[in-house]
Every structure is written in structure tokens, then in C-alpha cells.
Amino acid sequence: MQTRYNFLLDMVTERLVSIVMARTQLGKKDGLTYKQRQLVDTLVASNCTITEASQKAGYAKGEAGRVIASRTLRLPKVQAYLMQEVSNKLGLGSIHASSTLLHLIQNGKSEYVRLEASKDLLDRIGMKAPDKVQHNLSGNVSIKIDLD
């Protein structure tokens, strides 16, 4: 059981390392300015408002900074970077989540907890059982409704 746990943890870790390496290789080839990158990084890292992030990123103070930051966040290249950073943050959090699932599978206090954690893990790696099965019948089907 411990071997399976280590194998799954290694798979998740390798995936996250490849994401971080791909991000590093992109570097500054995405066309963002320092302020745009700083705005997105501040929003993702500190979970603050747009106004607060704009001030920390060096935009104008107050309402003017918020307006400029809002317009900046609508730019396609800034949106792409924002989505990438959010994805990276969630990806890093998935290490802890998968570790928790594996811990529950191995050490859950009840069979129900272990079963649900196992089903959830299998679902997340793409091995979920189908929700519905559709049966196709061929042949002549006749329905007669008599309302008399």
C-alpha cells in the first residue's frame, strides 16, 4: 500500500515540476510589462482587491489605479498569464490534496471514508465508473394507447 502511495505522490510531483519548468522557460516572452506581471502576481498571491493590488504593483493611487488595473486585466495576454498563475497555484495545492486523499485511503477510520476517498482518487485520475449505461434495443416496438 505504501508503494502505491509513493507512486501516486511521485506522479503528482513530476507533473507539477513540469508545469513550473514550462513556466520558467516561457520567461518574459509573453509580452507583459513589469507592472502587468506584478499586478497579476499580487492578485494571485495575496488574494486582495484590484485596488490594493494596483497600488502594490505601482499603478496610480485610488480610483484611477483601480480603473487602469481593471482595464489591464481585460487584456488577452494578461488574462492568459492570470489563468496560468491561478492554475499553478491550484496545482501546487493539489500535492497536499492528493496526499490527504492517500492518507484517508490508508488510514480512514471507517470503511465508508476509505471507499469514498478511493472513489474520489480514481475519479480524479480518469478511472471513474460510468454514471449511466445506455442500452440500445433494435426491433419493432409498438405502443397502443386505448382511451375508451
pLDDT in tens, 5-51: 666 666 656 665 455 445 544 455 678 999 999 999 999 888 788 99
Q: Give residue 21's pLDDT.
A: 46
Number of domains in the chain: 2
C-alpha cell at position 28: 518574459
Query: 27-35: which pairs have CB atoms within 8 A and are 24 or more residues apart?
Result: 30/77, 30/80, 30/81, 31/77, 32/77, 32/78, 32/81, 35/59, 35/72
Q: Give residue 5's pLDDT.
A: 61
Question: Is the predicted pLDDT of residue 132 greater than 80, yes or no?
Answer: no
- DSSP secondary structure, 56-78, as one string: HTT--SHHHHHHHHHHHHTSHHH
Does any domain span residue 135? no
Statement to judge: residues 11 and 41 lie in one domain: no
pTM over 0.75: no
86 vs 93: CA distance, rounded Å: 11
How far CA 36 is from CA of 26, 44, 87, 94, in Å, comes to: 16, 13, 18, 27
Does any domain span residue 61? yes
Statement to judge: residues 116 and 81 lie in one domain: yes
Statement to judge: residues 67 and 106 lie in one domain: no
42 vs 105: CA distance, rounded Å: 36
C-alpha cell at position 82: 492570470
Domain around 55: 31-74
Statement to judge: residues 98 and 113 lie in one domain: yes
Q: Give residue 25's pLDDT.
A: 44
Half-sphere exposure of 130 (CA within 13 A, CB side): 3
Does any domain span residue 145? no
Does any domain span residue 143? no
* Most confident listed range (38-47, 117-126, 128-137, 139-148): 38-47
Residue 123, phi then psi, degrees to nearest 5: -60, -45
Does any domain span residue 134? no
145 vs 143: CA distance, rounded Å: 7
Task: Judge whether 34 and 48 are in contact, CB under 8 Å.
Answer: no
Does any domain span residue 141? no
Does any domain span residue 83? yes
Does any domain span residue 98? yes
